[in-house]
Amino acid sequence: MSVPFPRSTIIGYPRIGPRRELKKALEAYWSGQMDGESLEREARRIREATYARLTDLGLDPHGSAIPASFSLYDQVLDTAVVLGAVPDRFADLPDGDGVLDLDAYFTLARGDAGRPPLEMTKWFDTNYHYLVPEIGEHSPFTLSAGTLLRDVDEAAEAGYRVRPTVIGPVTFLLLSKAAHGAGPSFSPLDRLDDVLPLYADLLRLLAGRGVRWVQFDEPALAADWALPEERIREAVGRAYGRLAEGTEHPAILVTTPYGSPGTHLAALAATGVDAVHLDLVRGAVPSPADLALLWGKTLVAGVVDGRNVWKADLRAAAATLDALRTDGVALSVATSTSLQHVPHDTGAEPALDTRLRSWLSFADQKVREVTVLAQHAAHPGAVERDIAAASRVLGERTGARGVARPEVRARAAALTPSDAERRPYPERRAAQQAVLGLPLLPTTTIGSFPQTADVRSARARKAKGTLSEGGYEAALQDEIRRVIGLQEELGFDVLVHGEPERNDMVQYFAEHLEGFDVTQHGWVQSYGSRCTRPSLLWGDVARAAPMTVPWTSFAQSLTDKPVKGMLTGPVTILAWSFVRNDQPLAETAVQVALALRDEVEDLERSGTRIIQVDEPALRELLPLRRAEQAAYLDWAVRAFRVATSSAGPATQIHTHLCYSEFGAVISAIDGLDADVTSIEAARSRMEVVHDLEDHGFGRGVGPGVYDIHSPRVPEAEEIRVLLQRAVRHIPAAQVWVNPDCGLKTRGYREVEESLRNLVDAARAVRASA
Ligand code: GLN
Ligand code: ZN
């Protein structure tokens, strides 16, 4: 019999540090201002501070309740390193005697002069990005557990018995891509039997270090994959059957965050694993029959939302726990997912409206919620006061001013199908051409120009109060003047103002719309050292005044060429904010769409002839289960159309999407009914044109010809070849010429040259068309 699982736990904690200490240390190390030893020391300090904090918040420091979930960069990369699953191109990197060599590790994550890094992609339906392991038919695996063991020893030295966390074998292989050169029928999951012995050895090593519980994360069980479900189910049974065999290993917890494991639960339950975690926020509460499967195990009930920032409804969570009480199944309380998706502490937000702050629960507050609920699970009634207090706050939130605004709701309810419908495309096309008179293969950019040090400093000084509102405006106008002048000189057909007023494409709108607030320190890791600070969407959304019109009109006053107005779309605003959880996302989306609709109308009224509504996150919120995708795409598309459909036929609506894996969503993208759609395409060398051709995409499309994710300047000839490829598959009359994405993070030197080449290439192809 294994040691009992702790009564309360979390399955992961933010790694970046309350003041982004890890980010700062990493960036100092990469730029040569900090040595490796100091970086390691800082990382250790963050780990130990985390253990101490979690102990203070009520997790048992000796009972395996604290997960060792730290990572210097990414948890999937860490597991790849443990398994020695390093692509051939990195074979010469030193392995540092079992403990990771820092530079080798960062080379995998960030590449070096001669080698691209591992690819990066979205972690499930979150805004976190992981590094994609590459596994071939014969890639060797070798166990390299040094870092994991060091973490365990170091914690023990400081007085903690922690619970090591590793990505489980099924998820690890499903998240991997087939290495270059693997046969067409190969999938990394074919290598399951080759990695299992390493996982088994790892368990033995950890047992030898006194570890009592190990956590294997298997979020892949909550998603649908290209492989058949039976195949994955069989892999789950085989993997955990093998790992749980015998008694020479620590007890095993398997987590399944981000949804329901569905039929994989039975496969998992049939093995000897000791505890199973379920996400009971996103996923379904198990039926009595499912519960019965867990007989003899611990059910780790993820009832506290790990992905959102709202105070938990403790009464509802307690009721869920009550319903799960079953003979023969031990019950433990946890978060639904790792807390890596939320900021550290609401205590760091003194400037926030106190009423709003009382509704919030960041990572540290969520740990408290977990421990309170665990007390309820052990002694029902013991924490009635805490439960009542939470209900009171929730009640206040429901009734608070701004949360439910009758006029906003009435407007959303009054929408009819025709409000999401524009005139037929041929009519629009003719009207737009008459107004705009654009050449074949028109050139444009995606919106932002490099954010210069001057612009950033002006914003900082305005925030500090050392630059007046007027002074700030003047500084931005100077920048706009420069950006317009540059585009005219380069010969662009459709200009942009460059977005210098935007710190961030969502936060800018959150700062101007009612129903939102922004935090000071609410950073969450996006990838590596990169963090974002999602806004808080807490109330009904409405627009008090125009948000972008003055900037766009000013830019338009400087030129005869059309200047595109630039807005962020409703789905992207939701995806990159913390959104209220008291009504369906679809309803909130319509409110945001209506606020944007007002902006579209004002832009049009002020003489803007082209308006772009960016939806780079459209695919991000796509549900992990296929059965749920159509309903999502339906409301997402409708929100975009509500935002854009009041535009007259002569106003050209653009949209921009940031990815090229298009297949699953191409009908939805077509459904947006934008006149022009720009998409990422340069990195995949225009592969997307095949999807567009197969689909019969009939409106304007700008497949990106300049990869802005790298500082490299593309030659005009190279761009010309890409464009030629595009016009072989899409009629030239539909094709636009633009970069892959905004230029915000680039420098002017490389941008000017690249854009010059882009315009040259467009001219060359035009001349030969
Ligand atoms: N218009 C935005 C920009 O150019 C689009 C950014 C994005 O797609 N992420 O910065
Ligand atoms: Zn983009």
Task: Identify the pLDDT of residue 498.
Answer: 98
CA-based nearest residue to 362, from 617, 506, 536: 536
- What are 621's strand-pairing partners? none
Q: What percent of the chain has pLDDT over 70?
A: 99
What tokens appear for 354 in the block? Answer: 């106190």
**Which ipTM did the prediction report?**
0.99
For ligand 1, atom 5, the nearest C-alpha belongs to 742
Site to probe by mutation for ligand 1, drawn from 503, 611, 619, 656 as the one with most ligand atoms within 8 Å of Cβ, is: 656
Q: Minimum mean pLDDT among 146-155, 175-184, 653-662, 674-683: which range?
A: 653-662
Distance 696 CA to ligand 2 centre (A): 23
Q: Is 624 in the pocket of ligand 1 (CB under 6 A)?
A: no
Distance 739 CA to ligand 2 centre (A): 9
Work out the average pLDDT over 353-367.
98
Task: Identify the pLDDT of residue 685.
Answer: 84
Task: Identify the pLDDT of residue 97.
Answer: 61
Question: Which are the contacts of 214, defined by CB distance < 8 A and separation ≥ 6?
Answer: 163, 164, 165, 166, 203, 206, 249, 250, 251, 252, 253
Task: Identify the pLDDT of residue 130.
Answer: 97
CA-based nearest residue to 341, from 165, 128, 130, 529: 128
Quick check: 113 pLDDT over 70?
yes
Q: Is 446 in the pocket of ligand 1 (CB under 6 A)?
A: yes
Structure confidence by residue, pLDDT tens digits, 528-578? 999 999 999 999 999 999 999 999 999 999 999 999 999 999 999 999 999
The structure's pTM equals 0.96
Structure confidence by residue, pLDDT tens digits, 666-718? 999 999 999 999 999 887 888 889 999 999 999 999 999 999 988 889 999 99
Per DSSP, 708 falls in state: T
What tokens appear for 701 in the block? Answer: 């499309």
Report in angstroms the alpha-carbon separations of 521 from 129, 502, 535, 731.
21, 18, 11, 49
Q: Is 569 in the pocket of ligand 1 (CB under 6 A)?
A: no
Task: Identify the pLDDT of residue 216.
Answer: 98
For ligand 1, atom 6, the nearest C-alpha belongs to 742
Binned at pLDDT 50, 70 and 90, residue 439 comes out as very high
Task: Identify the pLDDT of residue 660.
Answer: 64
As a whole number of angstroms, the distance between CA 101 and CA 88 comes to 17
Distance 669 CA to ligand 2 centre (A): 15
Distance 454 CA to ligand 2 centre (A): 24
Q: What do you get for the CA distance between the two ends of the chain, in Å? A: 76
Asked whether the beta carbons of 278 and 333 are under 8 A apart, the reply is no
Place of tokens 């019999």: 1
Question: Which are the contacts of 738, defined by CB distance < 8 A and separation ≥ 6?
Answer: 443, 444, 445, 446, 678, 702, 704, 705, 706, 758
Q: Is 656 in the pocket of ligand 1 (CB under 6 A)?
A: yes
What tokens appear for 753 in the block? Answer: 């040259």
Q: Is 500 in the pocket of ligand 1 (CB under 6 A)?
A: no
Task: Identify the pLDDT of residue 2.
Answer: 74
Work out the average pLDDT over 592-603.
98
- What are 544's strand-pairing partners? none
Work out the average pLDDT over 600-610.
98
Site to probe by mutation for ligand 1, drawn from 127, 444, 445, 448 as the one with most ligand atoms within 8 Å of Cβ, is: 448
Structure confidence by residue, pLDDT tens digits, 252-267? 999 999 999 999 999 9
- Mean pLDDT, the chain, as a whole number? 96
Work out the average pLDDT over 745-762.
96
Binned at pLDDT 50, 70 and 90, residue 96 comes out as low
- What are 495's strand-pairing partners? 563
What tokens appear for 430 in the block? Answer: 């003719």
Quick check: 662 pLDDT over 80?
no
Asked whether the beta carbons of 280 and 303 are under 8 A apart, the reply is yes
Residues with catalytic function: 709
As a whole number of angstroms, the distance between CA 700 and CA 692 comes to 11
CA-based nearest residue to 82, from 219, 216, 273: 216
Q: Is 214 in the pocket of ligand 1 (CB under 6 A)?
A: no
What is the phi/psi pair of residue 759, to 5°? -65, -40
Return the number of other C-beta atoms located less than 10 Å from residue 1's C-beta: 7
Quick check: 1 pLDDT over 60?
no
Largest CA distance in the chain: 80
Task: Identify the pLDDT of residue 664.
Answer: 78
Structure confidence by residue, pLDDT tens digits, 30-88? 999 999 999 999 999 999 999 999 999 999 999 999 999 999 999 999 999 999 999 99
Place of tokens 């005044």: 545
Work out the average pLDDT over 106-134.
92
Is the model more confident about 114 or about 65?
65
The dihedral region occupied by 276, where left means phi > 0, alpha psi between -120 and 50, and beta the remainder, is beta
Closest ligand 1 atom, residue 658 Cα:
8
Q: Is 739 in the pocket of ligand 1 (CB under 6 A)?
A: no
Closest ligand 1 atom, residue 502 Cα:
10
Ligand in closest contact with the CA of 567: 1
Work out the average pLDDT over 649-665.
87
Binned at pLDDT 50, 70 and 90, residue 98 comes out as low
Binned at pLDDT 50, 70 and 90, residue 93 comes out as confident
Distance 709 CA to ligand 1 centre (A): 12
Distance 194 CA to ligand 1 centre (A): 43
